[in-house]
Amino acid sequence: MTALDELTKPAASLKNSYIERWKEKGGKVIGYFCTYVPVEVIHAAGILPYRMRATGSTSTELGDIYASHITCTFCRHSLDQAMRGEYKFLDGLVALFSCDHIRRMFDAWRYGKIDLPHSPYYLRCLSIPFKVDDLAVEWMVGEIDRFKQSLESHFEVKITDEALRQSIRTYNEKRRLLKSLYELRKKEAPPINGAEALAILIASTAMPTEEFNQILRRVLDELGERDGFSEYKARLLLGGGELDNPAYIGLIEGLGGLVVSDFLCYGTRDFWDLADEDSEPVAALAKRYIQRISCPRMVDYPERDKFVKDLVKDFKADGIIVQRLMYCDNWGCEGARTQWEAKKDGVPCMVLEREYMMSAVGQMRTRVQAFLETIGR
């Protein structure tokens, strides 16, 4: 098995061999629902942070009991998987007010609608500001400190400043390696396609970071000797929120598009910015998570617009596709804004609504194909 095969495999299922080995050694795993959760704090406690997905779900029958039919299907599938016991490998869950949908789903966990395997089960909803300013950073310092204390109390561990600094260094290393991976995607014939890149990004949130970093270095060496992808109609920037299914990008690339970069929760927004490794660790994390490239939950539109424009330029994208989960309020507004800004710059942009599961594939295929024909090289 090549290193690339090794890193793309974890995306295919909720659990993987890395998590199983971690649990066999007595390790704890905490699930988290948003990129604004400071995973370095969990890591510094000796606990494995796990980004929540609903991979493998085929129904929302149980999730629909506690969720409205206009709740996004990612939340409904996640809730359904939880009620079926698919997350029993978790020792806790951390969320925040990413959106109304996530918050209401967290309430179902908190009020005992889920059959929890561990007692007591760690549950925490973080209070993350919506603005990007000095007061927000100051608030975040206090919130991270309270989060740290709650982990210490529940799991009976001590999170030292040195442990936090080491976690910051480890996660910064991961982010630098991922940026190196994206540098390869700037080539006229990138040695990796968008579906493979997304699978790697998913793996980065579902296994110990130290092991991921080691394997990703091998992947970068392998890609240096790999033939590039040159047979494509258009280079694309893929935007939107939750997307943890490489098959979705595979559909686009099967029609002749090549996704060369992204503005996704699993992509650039998660790893683009680093934390200061030399200053006080809690303050460094607070600054990093507030001032990073934001998502639509944050009131920071000019910076996001500039970032998307820079991505289009740097990766030589011919067009933008914004994938939006049905009923996603945040991206309902942000998708229209992205489309409007792209139009002013003369960049073709399409908003493509979808469900969490791959459905209405024929309709998606028709729309993507028509879009590629209008911008094809």
The values of phi and psi at residue 50, to 5°, are -130, 120
Enumerate residues 6+ apart whose C-beta is below 8 A from 24: none
pTM: 0.95
Token pair, residue 337, equals: 């804004």
Residue 122 is given by DSSP the state E
Cross-sheet strand order for the sheet of 92-96: 48-51, 29-32, 92-96, 122-126
Q: What is the pLDDT of residue 360?
A: 77
Domains 3-161 and 188-277+289-375 belong to one CATH topology: yes
pLDDT in tens, 69-85: 889 999 999 999 998 98
Residue 320: name the closest of 329, 307, 301 by CA: 307
Domain layout of the chain by residue ranges: 3-161, 188-277+289-375
Widest distance between CA atoms in the chain: 59
Q: How far apart are CA 91 and CA 28, in angstroms?
A: 6
Q: What is the pLDDT of residue 377?
A: 62
- Report CA 167 to chain centroid distance, whole Å: 19
Q: Is 219 exposed, middle or buried (0-12, 13-18, 19+ CB in 10 A)?
A: buried
Per-residue pLDDT of the chain (377 residues; tens, 9 = 90+): 799 999 999 999 999 999 999 999 999 999 999 999 999 999 999 999 999 999 999 999 998 888 888 899 999 999 999 989 899 999 999 999 988 899 888 888 888 667 666 657 899 999 999 999 999 999 999 999 999 999 999 999 999 999 999 999 999 999 999 999 999 999 999 999 999 999 999 999 999 999 999 999 999 999 999 999 999 999 999 999 999 999 999 999 999 999 999 999 999 999 999 999 999 999 999 999 999 999 999 988 899 999 999 999 999 999 999 999 999 988 988 999 999 999 999 999 999 999 998 877 889 999 999 999 998 66
Q: What is the pLDDT of residue 359?
A: 79
Q: How far apart are CA 209 and CA 199, in angstroms?
A: 15
What is the topology classification, in CATH, of domain 188-277+289-375?
Rossmann fold (3.40.50)
Token pair, residue 240, equals: 């939107």
Tell me which of 3.40.50.620, 3.40.50.11890, 1.20.120.1200, 3.90.440.10 is the CATH number of domain 3-161. Answer: 3.40.50.11890
